[in-house]
Amino acid sequence: MNPLTDPAPDIDSPYALTEAQVERFRRDGCIKLKQVLSPAALACYGSAITRLTIDLNTEHRPLQERSTYDRAFLQVMNLWEHSPLVGRFVMGQRLARIAAELLQVSGVRLYHDQSLYKEPGGGITPAHADQYYWPLASDRTITAWIPLQAVPAEMGPLGFYAGSQGVAFGRDLGISDESEAQITENMARHGFSFDVSPFDLGEVSFHLGWTFHKAGANTSTQARSVMTIIYMDAGMRLLPALSPIQANDRDQWCPGAREGEPIATRKNPVIWER
What whole-number distance in Å separates Cα of residue 215 and Cα of residue 177?
13
C-beta atoms surrounding 200 within 10 Å? 13
Average pLDDT over residues 53-57: 95
Q: Residue 134: CB partners within 8 Å, gap ≥ 6?
A: 111, 141, 209, 246, 249
Q: Which of 56-60, 182-186, 253-257 has the lowest mean pLDDT?
A: 56-60
Q: Where are the alpha helices (DSSP H) in 220-261?
A: 244-253
Average pLDDT over residues 66-82: 94
Average pLDDT over residues 181-197: 97
Condensed to tens digits (0 to 9), the pLDDT of residues 204-263 reads: 999 999 999 999 999 999 999 999 999 999 999 999 999 999 999 999 999 999 999 999
Residue 7 banded pLDDT, cuts 50, 70, 90 = low
Closest CA to 161 of 180, 187, 122: 187
Exposed/middle/buried for residue 232 (C-beta within 10 Å: 0-12, 13-18, 19+): buried
| CB-CB contact of 254 with 79 (8 Å) | no
Q: What domains sit in the chain, N to C, each tagged with a CATH number?
A: 19-273 (2.60.120.620)
What pTM value is reported for the model? Answer: 0.95
C-beta atoms surrounding 110 within 10 Å? 21
